[in-house]
Structure 1
Amino acid sequence: MNSSSSPARSRGLAFAAVVVTVVLWASAFVSIRSAGAAYSPGALALGRLLAGALTLGCLLLVRREGLPPRAAWPGIAVSGLLWFGAYMVVLNWGEREVDAGTAAMIVNIGPVLIVLLSARFLGESTPPRLLAGMAVSFAGAVAVGLSMSGEGRASVLGVVLCLLAAAAYAGGVVAQKPALRHASALQVTAFGCLTGTVACLPFLGTLVEEAARAPLPATLNMVYLGVFPTALAFTTWAYALARTPAGRMGATTYAVPALVVLMSWLALDEVPGALTLAGGALCLAGVAVSRSGGVRSRGDRSPGGRGGPRRVPEAPAAVREAEPRG
């Protein structure tokens, strides 16, 4: 009884963590729109990371978690530089050059890159259902991006920056996965955020200058970005990633455009058109398809790093086994 309920509980907790992550990351688009009007890309990234690092540091003290093991540091350092550092700065910059719809459409190349990089470096499989679900979701993301695009032209610089953001996001996810075999989700997130914060310190002077004249709502949105979409959502993401193949986790983020449409409708009174609604429905349908079936990572180990490669047993395995979500 206990052996069968533990994997089910693990799947349920991982799914709940994914839901929290996707909802908070979707809410970030609304906050970035507000804060980005008063803060430059680098200053906004640093302010967000400082708020996130402070929050995560307090959580580490409360939970009495120390430094991660040495084996986790390469993945933490790479994911911190790529995802917490480069991704946030480059995406903030890119969204100044292209509209939000175009940016979202381009950045959604990231999950495809995650699947390819995970297959190459993590030994994860790419089953037909995962690929089919990603194709459906990507079509939905394109539809949402086109429907939300403004009349302005998308600059070549903006497109290149969004492509770089997608590549940094994918590289960060794939680098983070091995670190979670040796350290907790909180440790990996906290020290990854700290790494990104240190990398963004050259923007400190700009942040101080802009904070002195920025309106209060913009600063509050920047703090919100650091506490919730960064500190909380990146931790719940890492928790789920430790128990789920990276390719499938990447595919799940295709739900973000659909939630952005809904949040814009509710919070900004932006009534979506038929194409936007259809694209959002495709995003969610693709996620459902990609989450179905039994995708496993051929080389995955337990988050603690002591177990051997995972198998696909008929009988319930140890709790250390990372179960697929859903």
Structure 2
Amino acid sequence: MASEMSSLGKKKGLLGFLILSITIIWGYAWALMKASLDFMGPFTFSALRFGTGTMTMFLVLLIFKVGPPPKDKWRHLAIIGLLQTTVVFLLVMYGLRFVDAGKSSVLLYSMPIWSSLLAAKFLGEKIQKMKAAGLTFGMIGLITILGWDVLIDQNMTVLTGEVLIILAAISWGASNVYYRKKLKNITNLQVSAYQMLFGTIGLALAAFIIEWGEPLHLTPKSIYYVLFTGVLASALCFTLWFIILNNIDMVTATLSTLLVPVFGMIFGVVLLNEQLTPNIILGSIFILSGIAISQIFKEKPLPQHIQ
């Protein structure tokens, strides 16, 4: 595996293709997540998606002959799984009931802003001037999106969904900071697989408790949604992401993920007939610019486990 990754690093064109493919898949997955709500409850879909992804991830571990992490790290992996998979996707999927897929992807990918703020608080990382400028841009973007909805739309269900997705972004950022504090010498592949396992357990419990007895329509279309988001958007992309991270610097990799909400908005418009209003476009520009600035001037970039 090491030799394969080394040879891949010499093929910049292939790496660029992989990065573009991953971001397109993740952007497309947002439209599928929204569409899945026509067939089942949000928590049931998440449990099925990440259950499928977990099984695929452990198959990947077997293929690459990657053993389990040390037992003393399992508790920390469970906490990351709770923060990053259970909490994030409980909030995101419920929020998607009220918020368009494109706007949701932009709000969730405000995560680096919260990661930076939490890292300053709990890791003692200094917020330099340019990083502060990036955070300011990001906050202006969030206010542009939310403020417009408060003043013009005044739809409390939409606002509630938006707040839930921002809380999901904060939880994702918290999981990254926790990773930095508690987990070292653990490969990204191990972290992705085991946090997904523990996170799926939380999602399954939530689906069982809250959505037991609710309609579950398993059709070719809904099964496709589960398999695509579970196998491709989660397991396969995580594996490719692990390989990419071993071939390029973290800043470049992180900045490439800014394409995800862009594709999320495009697929939302094309597949779900969502509207791109001026506040969404302007707010998105502010958020993506702010994240780019803050990531470029990071001293120690936070690990990214993107789903």
Query: So what's the TM-score if we normalise by structure 2?
Result: 0.73
Q: Percent identity at matched positions?
A: 24
| Pair 1:14–1:190, CA change in 2 (3 A) | farther
> Which one of 290, 295, 305 corresponds to residue 294 of structure 2?
290
| Pair 1:20–1:98, CA change in 2 (3 A) | same
* Superposed counterparts of 1:167-316, under 5 Å: 167-178=170-181, 181-202=184-205, 203=207, 210-211=215-216, 213-235=217-239, 244=250, 249=254, 255-268=259-272, 272=276, 276-293=280-297, 295-297=298-300
Residue by residue over 1:255-293, the C-alpha shift from the partner in whole angstroms, topping out at 9 and shown as x without a partner, is 433332233345456574555444444444334433434
Report the equivalent of 1:114. Answer: 115
Residue by residue over 1:56-104, the C-alpha shift from the partner in whole angstroms, topping out at 9 and shown as x without a partner, is 0110110111111245434311111111112111221122244556645
> Contact (CA 8 Å) 2:53, 2:230: kept in 1 or not?
yes
Letter paired with 2:184:
R
| Pair 1:88–1:100, CA change in 2 (3 A) | same
| Pair 1:281–1:233, CA change in 2 (3 A) | same
**CA offset at residue 107 of structure 1?**
3.9
> Separation in 2 of the partners of 1:164 and 1:256?
19
Root-mean-square deviation (CA, aligned residues, Å) is: 4.0
Letter paired with 1:201:
A
Structure with more relative contact order (C-alpha pairs < 8 Å, separation 6 or more): 2
Indicate the larger mover: 145-154 or 120-129: 145-154
> Contact (CA 8 Å) 2:135, 2:290: kept in 1 or not?
yes
> Contact (CA 8 Å) 1:179, 1:188: kept in 2 or not?
no
| Pair 1:255–1:190, CA change in 2 (3 A) | same
> Separation in 2 of the partners of 1:173 and 1:17?
23
> Separation in 1 of the partners of 2:283 and 2:261?
9
| Pair 1:123–1:108, CA change in 2 (3 A) | same
* Paired residue total: 287
Task: Give yes or no for the alignment of 1:133 onto 2:137.
Answer: no
Matched position secondary structure for 1:182: coil
> Contact (CA 8 Å) 2:41, 2:214: kept in 1 or not?
no
Matched position secondary structure for 1:36: helix
Report the equivalent of 1:153. Answer: 155
> Contact (CA 8 Å) 2:83, 2:174: kept in 1 or not?
yes
Letter paired with 1:161:
L
Indicate the larger mover: 26-35 or 158-167: 158-167
Residue by residue over 1:105-133, the C-alpha shift from the partner in whole angstroms, topping out at 9 and shown as x without a partner, is 65455332211222233343422222322
Task: Name structure 2 gaps, 5 residues minimum.
Answer: 1-5
> Separation in 2 of the partners of 1:81 and 1:71?
17
**CA offset at residue 190 of structure 1?**
0.5
Letter paired with 1:30:
A
> Separation in 1 of the partners of 2:299 and 2:258?
20
> Contact (CA 8 Å) 1:111, 1:170: kept in 2 or not?
yes
Task: Name structure 1 gaps, 5 residues minimum.
Answer: 1-5, 304-326
> Contact (CA 8 Å) 1:137, 1:254: kept in 2 or not?
no
Letter paired with 2:91:
V
Report the equivalent of 2:3. Answer: none
Query: So what's the TM-score if we normalise by structure 1?
Result: 0.69
> Separation in 2 of the partners of 1:244 and 1:192?
21
Indicate the larger mover: 114-123 or 184-193: 114-123
**CA offset at residue 221 of structure 1?**
0.9
> Contact (CA 8 Å) 1:101, 1:144: kept in 2 or not?
no
Letter paired with 1:296:
E
| Pair 1:148–1:57, CA change in 2 (3 A) | farther
| Pair 1:51–1:267, CA change in 2 (3 A) | same
